[in-house]
Amino acid sequence: MRLSELGDLYSTLLEAAVDGIITIDEAGIITGFNSAAERLFGYRRDEVIGQNVKCLMPEYVARHHDGYLQNYLQGCPARIIGVGREVEGRHKDGSTFPLHLSVGEALHEGHRNFIGICHDLTSYNAVLRQLGEAEERYRDIVESQKQLICRLDSKLRITFANASFSQVVGVQHDALMGIPLTSIADDAEHQLPYLLAQMFRSSDDLGEVNIKVTMKARDSGALVDWSFKRVESGNSEPPELQGFGIDISQQEAAVEQALYLRSHDPVTGFLNKQAYSDALAAWIQPGRRYALLHIDCSQFERITQQYGFESGDLIMAEAARRLRLGLDRANLCGRVTSDDFVVMAPVIDQDEAQSLANQVVLTLEAAYTIHGEQVRLDTTCGIALYPHDTRALDTLLLMASSAAKDARDHGLAYSYFNPEYHEDLRRQMDIEQGLKEAIDTRAIDVHLQPKFDLATGRIHGYEALVRWTHPRQGAISPALFVPIAERSALGQKLDRYVLTRVAELIAESIRQGKPEPVIAVNITAKHFSDTALSDFIRDLLQTYQIPARSLQLEITEGIVMEMRRTTTAIMDDLRQMGIEVSIDDFGTGYSSLSYLQHLMVDELKIDKIFIDDLESERGATLVRAVIAIAKAHDLRVTAEGIETGEQARILAAMKCDLGQGYFFARPAPSDEVLGLNH
């Protein structure tokens, strides 16, 4: 082949090369630059031929290149000639990029020439970086998993374990490597090695194998729910088992705690109401006698209000501790309400039951210390005897509860079950339930009794009175169901029901063009102490668009005698709204006269018991004195229960302002009294 042809061949090969090929002379001047080099560096061949090769290098390399080249030419060993290495190249736009550079040396006509082969590493490095990042992410994910992750070889030795695994078993990561998993598993039945070994022996894919195993931990065992799967390596290496485990110790403990709390009181550890009822049947032995004690610890609510619920719990826990210490272990104890315990105890006779009740009361009434102060529980005990009173255990519980209430009502330390009292209590509970339904269904009627001006004989206003016919017991007196409502926390609900009905009556009377009525509503003690009462009345006035002067409130003398700051604030608020307040049944408490000068009330109502004795000299003197005191405080006076004309005449002569009673008019349905059309 001729020399010219050989040159053409070399040029063709250089141009066809995928990698950039650059040639330089001894001075570092570029003498050759193939097409791949043009694409790599962004220069045209004619732009770099004759330029120093430094133009293709980053500044921090370029400034030393000439020195390196001269040193080499003077005989110093080369660090790059004949060796491939990763360096940085500089693109025409000034950016740098990674490349693999191999430099060779050739002599031509006595001159040294250097050939550099440049391979772009940008994509390669990006792939490596991505692989590294992926591996790092995978490692982070595995290490950050709360799951326990491990790999096992065919001898069940650990070849990999993540941080959670190490943390749960309390063994450093390096110390885990190579030890059998079975050595740190508390597997008394040896299920774990059998199942895992089976996964290696079987030629079939067994899928996942799940097993719960307690792992030996540094302080205690940790229950782990494991899932193992055989993993084929895909090459000549043997398969391994991949294990994923979840520490379910807390879950199991929570389940156990939840099951415990379903049947036990968390404060005392006693059985709760439902569990106690269920346990009685299994606990009682045939042919034996028992006393069921229902222990009522009153004052508990007051203590929690004063010292807080946490202190209340401490007292109940201490009371339970005393019961455990003071009673035989054979007794069955329970806590059935916040302040009530029950104890079922085997007894020989009624005397032993009485002795046990006395012991319980004395034990629980001893002082308790809270925040350095001593407090006491007022304890009463109800006793029901099995099988003397009944063999039905649910009924026995009700009987003991009834007996405890009987003891409380009569101020006794203990009381046996009384069928008559129990029947009366059952009737009251029936009334309470019926009353709740009646309020919800608007089945309680509002009657009105007029109040007359004793000087003119004209109607001055009305008092709202409730009437109710029970679906089973018939008409029930307000004197019976109103106190039941107050005791059962229905008092507020009943008050608001009546207030709403009265607001409706006033609004309807105004709408029909009737005279604007003034109607008084009795308010229970607890409701009047509720700061929300003022807001409720304010909303009523707004909703029904009625004037405040048309609505009056009556409170008993007992409320006045127990006056609190909240009550005084409520009275001030009502007065600012324009709502008048009257003291009902005045005189029955005898101790409230001194309160008159401090109260924001508008009216006194003299109780019927004084009006009944009005025609006697002593009775007349007393009523006259009450009227004089009221007038001295600029209060209006209304006499209740006027039944004769003579009583009305005497009261008018005494300058009593208003009167109401059967002499004037009996209470009647509100529509009838107001003459409303529906």
Q: Concatenated DSSP letters for 131-179?
A: HHHHHHHHHHHHHH-SSEEEEE-TT-BEEEE-HHHHHHHT--HHHHTTS
Residues recorded for the chain: 678
What integer pLDDT is reported at residue 542 of this predicted model?
A: 95
What integer pLDDT is reported at residue 595 of this predicted model?
A: 63
Full 3-state SS string of 261-323: HHHECCCCCCECHHHHHHHHHHHCCCCCCEEEEEEEEECHHHHHHHHCHHHHHHHHHHHHHHH
443-674 placed in CATH 3.30.110.40: no
What integer pLDDT is reported at residue 86 of this predicted model?
A: 86
According to CATH, where is 3.30.450.20 located in the chain?
3-125, 145-252
102 closest CA partner among 81, 123, 78: 81
- Distances in Å between the alpha carbon of 451 and those of 15, 62, 550, 586, 629? 122, 115, 14, 16, 21
Mean pLDDT of 212-227: 78
Whether residue 667 is predicted with pLDDT greater than 90 in this model: the reply is yes
What integer pLDDT is reported at residue 216 of this predicted model?
A: 78
Cβ burial 447-460 (10 Å sphere, 16+ → b, else e): bbbbbbebeeeebb
| Cα-Cα end-to-end distance for the chain | 129
What integer pLDDT is reported at residue 565 of this predicted model?
A: 59
What integer pLDDT is reported at residue 85 of this predicted model?
A: 82
What integer pLDDT is reported at residue 497 of this predicted model?
A: 94
Whether residue 459 is predicted with pLDDT greater than 80 in this model: the reply is yes
pLDDT band at 520 (very low <50, low <70, confident <90, very high): very high
579 closest CA partner among 544, 606, 603, 543: 603
- Cis amide linkage into residue 547, ω under 30° from 0: no
Whether residue 411 is predicted with pLDDT greater than 80 in this model: the reply is yes
Taking the C-alpha atoms of residue 573 and residue 566, their distance in angstroms, rounded to an integer, is 10
According to CATH, where is 3.20.20.450 located in the chain?
443-674
552 with 519: CB under 8 angstroms? yes
What integer pLDDT is reported at residue 657 of this predicted model?
A: 96
**Sequence-distant (≥ 6) Cβ neighbours of residue 441 within 8 angstroms:** none
What integer pLDDT is reported at residue 566 of this predicted model?
A: 61
Question: How much is the CA Rg of the chain, to the nearest whole Å?
Answer: 49
With a threshold of 0.75, does the pTM exceed it?
no
Least confident of 25-34, 224-233, 395-404: 224-233
Mean pLDDT of 466-477: 88
* Token pair belonging to 396: 């026995």
3-125 placed in CATH 3.30.450.20: yes
* Token pair belonging to 643: 């039944």
Whether residue 438 is predicted with pLDDT greater than 80 in this model: the reply is yes
Full 3-state SS string of 552-596: EEEEEHHHHHCCCHHHHHHHHHHHHHCCEEEEEEECCCCCCHHHH
The residues facing 639 across adjacent strands are 606, 659
Q: Which residue has the higher pLDDT, 245 or 441?
A: 441
243 with 306: CB under 8 angstroms? no
What integer pLDDT is reported at residue 203 of this predicted model?
A: 63
Whether residue 117 is predicted with pLDDT greater than 60 in this model: the reply is yes
* H or E element that contains 37: helix 35-41
Whether residue 535 is predicted with pLDDT greater than 80 in this model: the reply is yes
37 closest CA partner among 107, 113, 91, 105: 91
CB atoms within 10 A of CB 435: 23
pLDDT tens-place string over residues 343-400: 999 998 888 988 999 999 999 999 999 888 898 889 999 999 999 888 888 888 988 9
What integer pLDDT is reported at residue 594 of this predicted model?
A: 59
Pick 286-417's CATH classification: 3.90.79.10, 3.30.70.270, 3.30.70.260, 3.40.50.12280: 3.30.70.270
CB atoms within 10 A of CB 182: 17
What integer pLDDT is reported at residue 302 of this predicted model?
A: 83
pLDDT band at 204 (very low <50, low <70, confident <90, very high): low
pLDDT band at 205 (very low <50, low <70, confident <90, very high): low
Whether residue 128 is predicted with pLDDT greater than 60 in this model: the reply is yes
Mean pLDDT of 154-177: 86
Whether residue 409 is predicted with pLDDT greater than 60 in this model: the reply is yes
Nearest 5°: phi and psi at 560? -65, -40
pLDDT band at 1 (very low <50, low <70, confident <90, very high): very low
Whether residue 491 is predicted with pLDDT greater than 80 in this model: the reply is yes
Q: Which residue has the higher pLDDT, 420 or 593?
A: 420
pLDDT tens-place string over residues 608-631: 989 999 988 998 999 999 899 889
**Sequence-distant (≥ 6) Cβ neighbours of residue 317 within 8 angstroms:** 267, 268
151 with 171: CB under 8 angstroms? no
What integer pLDDT is reported at residue 592 of this predicted model?
A: 52
145-252 placed in CATH 3.30.450.20: yes
- Distances in Å between the alpha carbon of 184 and those of 217, 438, 628, 654? 8, 68, 94, 100
pLDDT tens-place string over residues 46-93: 999 999 999 999 998 888 887 777 877 776 766 667 777 888 999 999
Mean pLDDT of 211-237: 78
327 φ/ψ sector (left φ>0, alpha ψ -120 to 50, else beta) = beta
The residues facing 114 across adjacent strands are 24, 105
Whether residue 3 is predicted with pLDDT greater than 50 in this model: the reply is no
**Sequence-distant (≥ 6) Cβ neighbours of residue 322 within 8 angstroms:** 363, 364, 366
Taking the C-alpha atoms of residue 464 and residue 486, their distance in angstroms, rounded to an integer, is 17
The pLDDT mean for the chain works out to: 84
195 with 209: CB under 8 angstroms? yes
What integer pLDDT is reported at residue 11 of this predicted model?
A: 64
Taking the C-alpha atoms of residue 567 and residue 557, their distance in angstroms, rounded to an integer, is 13
What integer pLDDT is reported at residue 5 of this predicted model?
A: 53
- Distances in Å between the alpha carbon of 17 and those of 22, 29, 30? 11, 22, 18
